[in-house]
Amino acid sequence: MPVAGLLTLFFHLFALDMLGIGFFSILMVYIFVSKTPIRASLVPMLLMVMVLSIQNGVVRPGTHLDTDYIVSHLVFLMIMLGSMVIAGAYGLMHRKLKCNLTFGFLGIAAMGISLIIGGLGSAEFSNINPLLGLGFTVLFLSFFFYFGCIAGEIPFDYLAKLVILASLIPVIQVINVYYVYDLLGRGIHMSGAQLKNYVVVGWSISNGIAPIIALGLPFSAYFMATHKQPWWAFMVFMAQVFGVFLCLSRAMFIFVIPFVPLALIYAHIRSSGNSRIQLTVITAITLAVLSLFVLHNIEVITEVFSFYFNNNYGGLIGDDRGRWELFRIARDAFLRNPLFGAGITYRMDYHDMLFFAHNTILQFMAWGGIVGLFAITVHVGVTIFASVRKSTEHRLILLAAAGMIFLQSLLDHEFFMPPTFIFYLLFIACLERNALNHNGFARVFKPTKGSAVLA
């Protein structure tokens, strides 16, 4: 696993994008067709997109969306994708995994149906609307179905360490961007918005990087609370918080701020003996050093990171950077056709791309009306029920990780963006593992000794 992380950084830093994608694609095919434990497929699946470099990726520092490099290699990418899909289907059938439907699957299917039929009866309805809705539906259901099939083969500690690794890679990538473009030096002479435009890593902008880093926080907190040597988990935790801060994503940082003290309190209460003493000492030392550093460099910090201080958090007051306007557009779309909304193609002329309300609930209301609102409510309700029904520590950690993504998506649109939604679907599929097996609910996977994700 660490080797895969180092290779991801190697391909990314040296702009070997297609070589990295080819390597991870072949690795995934090998895992599917060999006797390698199928949980190993998560490594290339979660890390592959992170090989996209700042030189060649779809988003580059200081620029807007640029797909020329991807389009020029489209045939290669389609071959790799097709090979992985075929091998994946073979791997599932060859291993004879039990892939039963669950309420979670039906909840996601409901969201998909609301996108497919969204806009019926609306003046903005387009013939392409059902096709786009079907595309989103197939994508979401395919990933969730696959994760549901293999959930019983993923030990929780394995999943936790993989997610932590995946969250640390973008931290290093963001630090590299700051170094390559001298953002700390230039940030003094830039506006906050200008600096934020440079915080991109090839595969996503700052608001998409931040949740990938933040979703590792609950797992680091778990190891702080349970490991005999919690110092390393604490250092990882602080690196993740630092990484989110560097992303200049207010929509994510506003939820990370309260999570940090809650996680530290949980870790201190949950730990015991020498582990608790070690955690207390390293927390006190870190807070003291950090406080002295901030006080000594407060002017530079407030100038370079003025985006945090000159803009409100999350668009709630003051300079909302267009959030309230997007909310208003979504509301108006819903009110014009309350039952089915305006459809997924609504306002496609907005920045020449799909209109995103930067709020997942308003998004489903705008695209799918009452039907869309009902669908997202069902999905959230099933997910929460799966967490609290005979809840365990593992399920609550998974809920917290999924919650990082969902909460951030109340002020942004990363719910619909890869790789964010891939992590999200993985978490809720593992969370649901056995949680709905009580009282005769549908089963995700037939339990086998030593294979359960959730103890």
| Closest residue by Cα to residue 214 from 174, 172, 243, 175 | 243
In this structure, is residue 31 part of a structural domain? Answer: no
Residue 26, domain member (yes or no):
no
Q: With beta carbons less than 8 A apart as the criterion, state whether 387 and 431 touch.
A: yes
The tens digit of pLDDT for each residue in 97-106 reads: 777 778 888 8
- Give the DSSP letter of residue 59: B
Give the pLDDT score at 434.
52
**Alpha-carbon span 448 to 239, nearest angstrom:** 37
* Cβ atoms 60, 52 nearer than 8 A: no
What is the Cα–Cα distance from 9 to 294, expressed in whole angstroms?
30
pLDDT, residue 324, reads 85
Length of the chain equals 455
* Domain range enclosing 265: 97-440
110-151: per-residue pLDDT in tens? 999 999 999 888 887 888 889 999 999 999 999 999 998 898
Mean pLDDT of the 416-426 span? 92
Q: At what angle do helices 393-408 and 156-180 cross, to 10 degrees?
A: 30
pLDDT at residue 303 greater than cutoff 80: no
* pLDDT at residue 450 in the model: 39
Amino acid at 395: R
Q: How far is CA 425 from CA 41, 300, 420, in A?
A: 15, 40, 9
Q: What DSSP string describes 148-170?
A: HHHGGG--HHHHHHHHHHHHHHH
- Return the closest-CA partner of residue 197 out of 213, 215, 181: 181
Report the percent of the chain where pLDDT is more than 90.
54
In this structure, is residue 67 part of a structural domain? no
Q: Phi and psi of 59, rounded to 5°? A: -130, 135
Identify the residue with better confidence: 311 or 399: 399
Tell me whether residue 86 is in a domain.
no
pLDDT given at position 446: 38
- pLDDT given at position 317: 46
Judged against a pLDDT cut of 70, whether residue 1 lies above it is answered with yes
Number of domains in the chain: 1
Alpha carbons within 13 angstroms on the beta-carbon side of residue 232 total 8
Give pLDDT, residue 403. Answer: 93
Planar angle of CA 89, 95, 101, nearest 5 degrees = 65
Q: From residue 405, how far is each of 322, 385, 421 by CA, in Å?
A: 21, 18, 8
Query: With 60 as the cut, is the pLDDT of residue 314 above it?
Result: no
Instruction: Indicate the DSSP class of residue 442.
Output: P
pTM equals 0.89
| pLDDT tens digit sequence for 7-37 | 999 999 999 999 999 999 999 999 999 989 9
Tokens of 263: 């996680």
Q: Measured in whole angstroms, how far is the alpha carbon of residue 315 from the centre of its chain?
A: 21
pLDDT at residue 383, rounded to an integer: 85
Q: Tell me the pLDDT tens digit for each residue of 183-216.
A: 877 766 666 677 888 889 989 988 999 999 999 9
pLDDT at 298: 83
State how far the Cα of 422 lies from the Cα of 427, in Å rounded to an integer: 9
The pLDDT score that the predictor gives to residue 374 is: 95
Band of pLDDT at residue 320, cut at 50, 70 and 90: low
Q: Which of 242, 176, 201, 156 is nearest to 51 (CA)?
A: 201
What pLDDT does 188 receive?
A: 63
Residue 334 has pLDDT above 50, yes or no: yes
Q: What's the confidence (pLDDT) of residue 316?
A: 45
Mapped onto helix, strand or coil, the DSSP state of residue 380 is helix
Q: Would you tell me how many other CB atoms lie within 10 Å of the CB of residue 58? A: 18
Q: Are 376 and 316 in contact (CB under 8 A)?
A: no
Q: Two tokens at 274? A: 């020498």
CB 145 within 8 A of CB 99: yes
Rounded distance between C-alpha atoms, residue 253 and residue 247, angstroms: 9
Confidence grade of residue 445 (pLDDT, cut at 50, 70, 90) = very low
Stretch 250-263: mean pLDDT:
92
Q: Is the pLDDT of residue 50 over 50?
A: yes
> Would you place residue 421 in the very low, low, confident or very high pLDDT band (cuts 50, 70, 90)?
very high
258 within domain boundaries: yes
Burial class (CB in 10 A: 0-12, 13-18, 19+), 211: buried
The answer to whether the beta carbons of residues 9 and 33 sit under 8 Å apart is no
Answer yes or no: is 79 within a domain. no
Residue-averaged pLDDT of the chain: 86
8 Å CB contact between 179 and 185: no
Is residue 232 domain-resident?
yes
For 2, the token pair is 């660490």
Percent of the chain having pLDDT more than 70?
89
Flag whether 220 is in a domain: yes
Calculate Rg over the CA atoms of the chain: 22
| pLDDT per residue as tens digits for the range 145-184 | 999 889 888 999 999 999 999 999 999 999 999 998 888 7
Helix (H) or strand (E) holding 375: helix 360-388
Residue 313 pLDDT more than 80? Answer: no
Structure tokens at 148: 């549901």
β partners of residue 202? 59
